[in-house]
Amino acid sequence: METGPLLAIGILIIGGYFGGIIANKIGFPKVSGYLVVGILLSPSVLNLIPEMLINKNLNVIIDMALGIVAYLVGGSFHLDSLKKIRKDIGWVTFFEASSAGLFVALLILLFGFFPTLFNGNREFFIKTCIPMALICGAISAATAPAAVMAIIREYKARGSLTTTLLAVIALDDAIAIIFTAIAISIAQVWLGSMELFSLSKMFLLPLIYIITSIIIGGISGFFLINISKLAKTKQTLLVIVFGMIMFCVGITKMLNISPLLAVMALGFTVINKGGYSKDMFRVIDDIEDVIFAVFFTLAGAHFNLEVMKIAWAWGLIIVLGRFSGKFLGAKMGAIVAGSPLVVRKYLGLGLLPKAGVTVGLSLLIAQNPNFTNFASLLVNAMLASVIINELIAPPLTKYALFKAGEIIVKSEPEKL
Amino acid sequence: MQVKEAMKKDVIKVKRSTSLKNLLILFKDFHALPLIPVIAENEQLVGVVSLDNLVEILKSQESKLFRNIIFAEVDEDIFDLERVPSMGELILVDDMMSANFISLKEDTPLEKAYSIMRLHNKDQLPVVDKANKFLGIIGIFDIIWNMVKEKGIA
């Protein structure tokens, strides 16, 4: 007798449900609970979910969940609302996100290059380190809203650091998704064209991938807006919205271009060109919790003790690179944009939490057939970095808000 | 039958400049908050205030920023928040109303009105004429009432 995919999904959802509840009770975001339960269910610990399912048969869930994430992120780009955002937020976000990426990428390159001096194994460096550096760097731009939000609410923080922090986080995930989509395109071309390497191909091909993905998403968006008018109830609207997201993900995967960008373009078109388009996002609310629960628990189940023996060091490097990148980048951005002094000094510390999007994007990469030689290392390194991060980052955010004088009431956090 | 024959014409209206406090007092004896039309000069309908808007304005600024962000886990309880008494005067209808709302034209058939309400999950909608002049409010109950009367049930 073997655990089938549906039994696995059932176990993941029910286990995740309890994980989420316990995490909330002890003051962590639900996502952390899902991840921990996933780790417990993984082949390396309780071995309740077979490895075959985790690495292969349940991949469709990853595509489904990330499709929904990308659609919602695309939908958060409502142009009229974006115009109202303060100008310095744009600069700060750009600087902190790109410098986090840059620092992580450089550290990974350095860390990977060092051993080649002794063993001369250049292949590992070229085929694993370079694409990993690109991809991990891109993913590192993301910041988890839940942890920051929880701290702000617990301590009733308010002030210019708090508002800047919230606005920057709101843009961070979208930037991480765009960066990652671009990094995947470049890494794919890098690994695929090792023999006939040329600089123009290196940048032209990814550019074509990216533009084609966006065009497919945009056209699907207009199509969705028009056919959604036939829907008579909220339930039928969900049918067509969900169908269109899956269509977009599927067709871009078939063409081996970027599902993330296509679905983001779909969400972007719907929110900006559709009439009462908010309904087209609200319908997703009804299903997102269950999909995210199975998704993140499944993500945790990718935990592999063997791989983790090497991956923890990579995770540590990612954390280090990301911390220094976010900290210095936020400082630089705030100076360039002329933000207030508290923002310059403490914003970087507030931007350190990460979880959901980070893990999500690393799973997407792991199931890409071009990246199989480092898939498990990447996912486990990211898992390690999330776990390390989960322990260090929230206290630092708290410290930043406290030092900035924006936590006024110094009370014990209320336990829910 | 068209919505203009079934809608309620005698409706309490507010202006953009009405304060939150005055709005609350106007409706304190109602047993449920109805959809409130916001009217400019020359009777133009410029917005609506619903129970959702009222709940929203009582929430914190932070949770508003996070409404569109995934994994934010914003599950705010309105009893948890600190609020100052002066917000009654400081918040105006203009700050809380939905300016981008769905309205029905006076000649919309009742069947169509009902399906629009179901699609958008609304139980009341404002009715306007071609020049966007406010005429009344129609709710699902008005539609049901007309239907049962026609069939002789009530």
pLDDT of residue A416 exceeding 80: no
pLDDT of residue A302: 92
| B 102-141: CB under 8 A from A | 102, 115, 118-121
Residue A14 corresponds to which tokens in the numbers above? Answer: 């029910």
Q: What is the identity of the amino acid at A334? A: A
Give the Cα separation of A342 and A404 in Å (integer): 6
Structure confidence at residue A279 (pLDDT): 83
pLDDT (tens digit per residue) in A189-245: 888 765 555 667 777 888 898 999 999 999 999 999 999 988 888 888 999 999 999
| pLDDT over threshold 80, residue A1 | no
The predicted pLDDT at position A108 comes to 92
Matching CATH number, A60-403, of 2.50.20, 3.40.50, 1.20.1530, 1.10.890: 1.20.1530
Distance CA A96, CA A335 (A): 12
Cβ separation A149–B102 shorter than 8 A: no
User: Which residues in chain B are contacts of A169 at CB distance < 8 A?
Assistant: 69
Cα–Cα distance, A260 to A365 (Å, whole number):
11
User: Quick one: tokens of A102?
Assistant: 């840059």
Helix, strand, or coil here: B8? strand
Q: Please give the full DSSP string across A274-339, using - where no structure is assigned.
A: STTTHHHHHHHHHHHHHHHHHHHHHHHHT--HHHHHHHHHHHHHHHHHHHHHHHHHHHHHHHHHT-
Number of C-alpha atoms within 13 angstroms, CB side, residue A238?
Answer: 11
Of A228, A294, A300, A241, the residue nearest A72 (C-alpha): A241
| Residues of B with Cβ-Cβ distance to A72 under 8 angstroms | 68, 70
Chain A positions touching B120 (Cβ under 8 A) are 234, 276, 279
Q: What is the DSSP string of A175-188?
A: HHHHHHHHHHHHHH
The pLDDT value given to residue A409: 55
Q: Of all residues in chain A, what percent carry a pLDDT higher than 90?
A: 48
**The pLDDT value given to residue B4:** 93
Q: pLDDT confidence of A312, banded at 50, 70, 90?
A: very high
- Name which of B69, B83, B102, B123 to mutate to probe chain A: the one with the most chain A Cβ atoms within 10 A of its Cβ: B69
Per-residue pLDDT reduced to its tens digit, A324-351: 999 999 999 999 988 888 899 999 999 9
Nearest to B118 among A75, A167, A233 (CB): A233
Neighbours of B79 (CB within 10 A): 6
Count residue pairs from A and B with Cβ separation < 8 A.
Answer: 72
**Residue pLDDT, tens place only, B3-27:** 999 999 999 999 999 999 999 999 9
Closest Cα in chain B, distance from residue A100 (Å): 21
- What's the confidence (pLDDT) of residue A19? 94
- Does any CB of chain A come closer than 8 Å to the CB of residue B62? yes
Residue A411 pLDDT more than 60?
A: no
pLDDT of residue B28: 93
pLDDT of amino acid A249:
95
- Over the range A214-224, which residues count as b (16 or more CB within 10 Å of their CB) and which as e? bebbbebbeeb
Alpha carbon A101 to chain centroid distance?
A: 13
When computed from its CA atoms, the radius of gyration of chain A, rounded to whole angstroms, is 21
Residue type, A59: N
pLDDT tens, residue by residue, A135-174: 999 999 998 888 888 888 778 788 888 888 888 887 888 8
The number of domains in chain B is 1
* A277 Cβ contact partners less than 8 Å away, ≥ 6 residues apart: A75, A225, A270, A271
CA-to-CA dists, residue A148 to A76, A162, A196, A238, angstroms: 19, 10, 46, 31
User: If we measure between CA atoms, which residue out of A196, A133, A222 comes closest to residue A205?
Assistant: A196
Q: Give me A138's structure tokens.
A: 């891109």
Task: CATH number of the domain at B52, please.
Answer: 3.10.580.10
Say whether pLDDT at A297 is over 90: yes
Residue A82 has pLDDT above 80, yes or no: no
Q: Kindly give, in sequence order, each residue whose CB lies less than 8 Å from that of residue A333, ignoring residues fewer than 6 positions away.
A: A88, A91, A92, A93, A94, A95, A96, A339
Q: Can you tell me whether residue A159 is helix, strand or coil?
A: coil
ipTM of the complex: 0.71
**CA separation for the pair B91, B17 (Å, rounded):** 9
Contact A157, B60 (CB under 8 A): no
Tokens representing A81?
């609302």
Give the pLDDT of residue B68.
65
Q: Determine, for residues B62 and A153 on separate chains, whether the beta-carbon distance falls below 8 Å.
A: yes
Residue A382: what pLDDT? 92
Across the range A86-105, mean pLDDT stands at 90
What's the pLDDT score for residue A173?
83
Residue A134, pLDDT > 60, answer: yes
- The mean pLDDT of chain B is 89
Check A288 against B65: CB less than 8 A apart. Answer: no
The per-residue pLDDT of chain A, averaged, comes to 88
Q: Identify which has the larger pLDDT, A414 or A6.
A: A6
Q: What is the pLDDT of residue A118?
A: 77
Q: Which of A375, A391, A388 is nearest to A304 (CA)?
A: A375
Alpha helices in chain B (DSSP H): 3-6, 20-26, 51-58, 61-65, 87-90, 93-96, 110-119, 140-150
Binary contact (B121, A144; C-beta < 8 A) = no
